[in-house]
Structure 1
């Protein structure tokens, strides 16, 4: 999925002297407070981290509150959706006017009717609301479906995404992946067929197929024996 990235960062964490007895725990708590929040420094939402303390000798900062600084090297997993990126999420609710999605378990997204391509038709079947494709009957979007959609905008304050299902390569992930596999298999079959046709033809590299070339050798040997 696009929008996910891993970054190496050199960080400095400032801790209160009261936390000096257990610096490691204090650092983890501090970094934990950054999780699932948008950071302008990282230009993304912090999802996970792996930390290595570089300098165990903390530097004391003078002032009214004498905090001390600890240098860290961290490996960060960030989520930073940008316009035109393809991301994935689970449909939580839908109606005729919109599809509501949850991304990575924490970020909400909405796809409104004007951003759903005309191929999809809203239906209420057996009291179950869904969008089904008029072109492909098995391409259905309903509550619980994992979908792939395009990012139109991202509100970093409330972690809300506005999405789109206008491109042809968006929709139910299960349906899209199955059809991509079918298309790949079709392409491979077509390639094999072309290869067989070329090998079974009348001209291969020297004006004869491997089979006719072998027959020619056998005939030549027979003529020599007869002579």
Structure 2
């Protein structure tokens, strides 16, 4: 899935003097406060972190409450969905007006009716609301379906994604993956069919007076027949 990335950052964490004897715990507490919030420093929602190194030489800041800064190197796992990237999520609610999705278990996404391609039609099926494809009856989106959709925009403050199912490569992940395998297999078979006639034609043609494969086979067959007659 797109929208996930790893970022390496050099940070300075400022610790209160009262925590001077618990620097590691204080640093981890500060980093934990960043989890599942959007950070402009690393340009993404922090999902996880791993501290690579921690400088024990702290620099004391002057002031009424002299905090001290601790330098460290951190690897962040970020959720940073950009417009026109693909995300995957689970459908949690479906109405005639929209499809609501949860991404990675924490970020809400909504796909409005205007952003659902005309191929899909809303209908009631066995007492449940679904979006069913006109072109393939097995391509159905319902509550619980994992879907792949395009990002239109991302609200960094409330971690809300606005998505789209307009492109053909969006929809039910199960159906898309299975359909792509079938198409890929059909393409490979078609390529083999196209290649074989070309090879036969090349083998049959004579270039600049040289014998073609068929000419060679015919002459070798004639020689064998002549040899057989002479032995008889």
**Fold conserved (TM > 0.5)?**
yes
Measure how far apart 1:22 and its partner are: 2.5
Measure how far apart 1:222 and its partner are: 9.0
1:80 and 1:137 map into 2 onto residues whose CA distance is 34
Moved over 4 A (4+): 211-226
1:187 and 1:36 map into 2 onto residues whose CA distance is 43
- Unpaired stretches in structure 1, ≥5 consecutive residues: none
- Post-superposition CA distance 1:68-101 (Å, at most 9, x none): 1111111111111122221111100111111100
Q: Report the RMSD for the aligned CA atoms in angstroms.
A: 2.4
Please give the residue correspondences for 1:181-196 in structure 2 after superposition, counting only pairs within 5 Å: 181-196=181-196
The aligned counterpart of 2:142 is 142
- Post-superposition CA distance 1:8-40 (Å, at most 9, x none): 111111111222223222211111110110111
TM-score, normalised with respect to structure 2: 0.87
Pick the structure with greater CA Rg. 2
1:24 aligns with 2:24: yes
TM-score, normalised with respect to structure 1: 0.89
Please give the residue correspondences for 1:115-134 in structure 2 after superposition, counting only pairs within 5 Å: 115-134=115-134
Aligned length: 225
Q: Name the SS of the counterpart of 1:48 in structure 2.
A: strand
1:30 and 1:122 map into 2 onto residues whose CA distance is 47
1:104 aligns with 2:104: yes
1:165 and 1:206 map into 2 onto residues whose CA distance is 52
Measure how far apart 1:62 and its partner are: 2.1
The aligned counterpart of 2:202 is 203
Q: Name the SS of the counterpart of 1:179 in structure 2.
A: helix
